Amino acid sequence: MQKIIILDFGSQTTQLIGRRVRETGTFCEILPYDKFPAGDPDIIGVILSGSPLSVYAEGSFHPDLSPIIGRYPLLGICYGAQLLSYSHGGNVESVGTREYGRATLRTIDSSSRLLRGIVAPTQVWMSHGDSITRLPDGCRCIASTDNVRYAAFESETLPVWGVQFHPEVEHTLEGRTLIRNFVVDICGSRCEWTSGSFVDTTVEELRATLGQDKVVLGLSGGVDSTVTAVLLNKAIGDRLTCIFVNHGLLRKNEYEDVLADYRCLGLNVVGVDASQLFYSDLAGVEEPERKRKIIGSDFIRVFDEEASKIKDVKYLAQGTIYPDRIESLNITGKTIKSHHNVGGLPERMNLKLCEPLKWLFKDEVRNVGRHLGIPANLIGRHPFPGPGLAVRIMGAVTPEKVRIVQDVDDVFIRGLREWGLYDKVWQAGAVLLRDRTVGVLGDERSFEYAVALRSVTSIDAMTADWARLPYDFLAYISNEIINKVRGVNRVCYDISSKPPATIEWE
C-alpha cells in the first residue's frame, strides 16, 4: 500500500500531521528523524515535522537528506522547512520576534501546486522563534505574512516545498487543502486507505496468520480492546476468548453493563470479578506509582490464571493502537507517569502477540468500529485509565471511597449526556480528594469529602484544555452531587490545562 513517511523532529504536533495525511485516505508512518526507510517501494512522499529546537542550536537534528531530496516529493513544516533552507545555502536567523499564534497569509502564489485552491488572505498558525531570512538558490517564495516574508517556498528544480506555519493544526484554516494538495496531487496518492479496506485486508491477514490457532484477549470496556475483539471475532469466531477482569475500580455498574453489551455483540467473553483481591492488595497504599504497579501485577495474575484454563492458546491479542507505539522524540528524556494496562503479559505467558489495530489512530479505530457495526454507546465512550478509579482517589483506596467516586462520576456523566455535552468533551470524570471539608447540612455542621470534577477537550490526550462547561450545568451538577451522593459536601471544577497539569490527578 502507498505510504507517506513523516520524519519526527520532536514537535508536539507531529501526530497531527499523521492524522491529516490519513484523513486524505492515505497510509502514513511516523518515524524518528534519522530512521528513513530508504528502499521501501511503497513510499510516495516525505514530510519533515517541526521541532522545539533551532536548526543552528548545538545538538539539533541534521539527518542526511540525500536519500530523499529529488527522489520523493518532500514537504518541510516549520523546523523541517528551516532545515531544508539552512542545509542548502539559505539563512535561518533568530529575528528577535518570536511568533506564536495566528497570522495571515497576505500574498499567495496559487500557481504553486502546493497552494492550489488557497486564496489570500487566509489565517495560518505560526509557532517559531527563528525565521528563514534567505532562500537557497533555485527556490522561490510562494506565500508571505506581514512578519514572515518566506512563509512558504518551493524549489524550481526539485520536488521540494517548505512552510513556516503549521498546516496540520485546525487554526490554519486551509491546512487540510494544503496537505491534500501535497499528498494527493503532488505525491499521487490513490486514497486507498479506508475503514472498509482496512477491515477486509486485516480480516484476511488474521485468518492467514492465525489459521486454526486460539487467541485470548483482555477486554477493558474501552474502544480499542472492543474493536480488536470484534475484528478478531469476525476473522476467527469462537477461537477467540475474551477475558474481562473487574478490578473493582471501574465506573458504577460498568462491569455488568459492558459484559452484557459484549455478549450482545456475539463475543465469547469470560467475566472475572476480582475486586476483593485488588482492594486487599491496595489497602493502605498511598503512593500513585505503587498503586499502578500493584494493579498491573494483580491484573497479570488474574488474567494469567483465567487464560491458563483455555487449552492450546497460541496468541495474546491486544488493543494497541498507533500512538502507543510511535517512538516520539522525547526531548526532555523524562517519564512523567507510567501508563500500563497489562504490562508484562506477553513475556510471562509465552504467547505470540496479535495487535490488529497497531497502525490506527484513535479516530480511525472508531471509524473501523462503526464499520463493524459496534453500537454508538461503545464506540463513543470516553477514554478511561487502565488502573481505573484508583488514580482518581487521592491516597489509599478503600471500597467506601470507590463507592463515593463511582456515585459522583455517575451523576456527572449522566448529566453530561442529558445536557448533550458528553460527546463534546474528550474525557470527563470525578476525583476524590484526600481531605474532608466543613459544610452545613440542614442546621447541622457536616464534615465530608470534597470532590473535583475534571472534563477536558483534547485531540490525542498529549495536550488538553479544561472544557468550558456552561455555568448552569456546573451549578446543576454540583447540586445533584451534594444532594445525591452520601459523603460529599463540596464540589470543585478543575480548570487546569495539560501541560502543565495532566488529565488524571495521579
Residues with active-site annotation:
78, 166, 168
Q: How far is the CB of 456 from ligand XMP (least distance, A)?
A: 8
Cβ neighbour number for residue 499 with a 10 Å cutoff? 11
> Which residue in 294, 319, 309 sits closest to 220, CA to CA?
319
Cβ-in-10-Å burial (0-12, 13-18, 19+) of 405 comes to buried
Site for ligand XMP in 317-376 (CB under 6 A): 337, 339, 341
Rounded to 5 degrees, what are φ and ψ at 201?
-70, -35
Site for ligand XMP in 387-416 (CB under 6 A): 387, 391
Task: Please provide the DSSP assignment of 68-114 as one string.
Answer: TBTTB-EEEETHHHHHHHHTTT-EEEEEEEEEEEEEEE-EE-TTSGG
> Which residue in 441, 427, 348, 345 sits closest to 381, CA to CA?
427
Stretch that binds ligand XMP, among 350-358, 379-387, 407-415, 466-474 (CB under 6 A): 379-387
Stretch that binds ligand XMP, among 124-132, 310-318, 378-386, 405-413 (CB under 6 A): 378-386
> Which CB, 178 or 456, lies closer to ligand XMP?
456
Binding ligand XMP (rule: CB under 6 A), the pick from 103, 151, 232, 503 is: 503
> Which CB, 5 or 451, lies closer to ligand XMP?
451
> Which residue in 141, 97, 151 sits closest to 121, CA to CA?
151
Binding ligand XMP (rule: CB under 6 A), the pick from 383, 395, 439, 487 is: 383
Does residue 10 bind ligand XMP (CB under 6 A)? Answer: no
Residues sharing a CB contact under 8 Å with residue 85, sequence separation 6 or more, in sequence order: 91, 92, 132, 134, 135, 136, 139, 150, 153, 162
Site for ligand XMP in 439-498 (CB under 6 A): 461, 498
Q: Are 324 and 317 contacting, i.e. CB atoms less than 8 angstroms apart?
A: no
Does residue 504 bind ligand XMP (CB under 6 A)? Answer: yes
Beta strands in 106-151 (DSSP E): 107-108, 122-134, 139-144
Size of the site for ligand XMP (CB under 6 A): 15
Q: How far is the CB of 505 from ligand XMP (least distance, A)?
A: 8
> Which CB, 20 or 382, lies closer to ligand XMP?
382
Binding ligand XMP (rule: CB under 6 A), the pick from 386, 397, 405, 455 is: 386
Q: How far is the CB of 362 from ligand XMP (least distance, A)?
A: 10
> Which CB, 274 or 313, lies closer to ligand XMP?
274
Cell of 374: 459496534
> Which CB, 18 or 388, lies closer to ligand XMP?
388
Q: Please, how many CA atoms are within 13 Å of residue 410, restricted to the half-sphere of its CB?
A: 13
Does residue 294 bind ligand XMP (CB under 6 A)? Answer: no
> Which residue in 389, 418, 421 sits closest to 405, CA to CA?
389
> Which CB, 162 or 369, lies closer to ligand XMP?
369
- Binding-site ranges for ligand XMP (CB under 6 A): 292, 337, 339, 341, 383, 385-387, 391, 427, 461, 498, 502-504
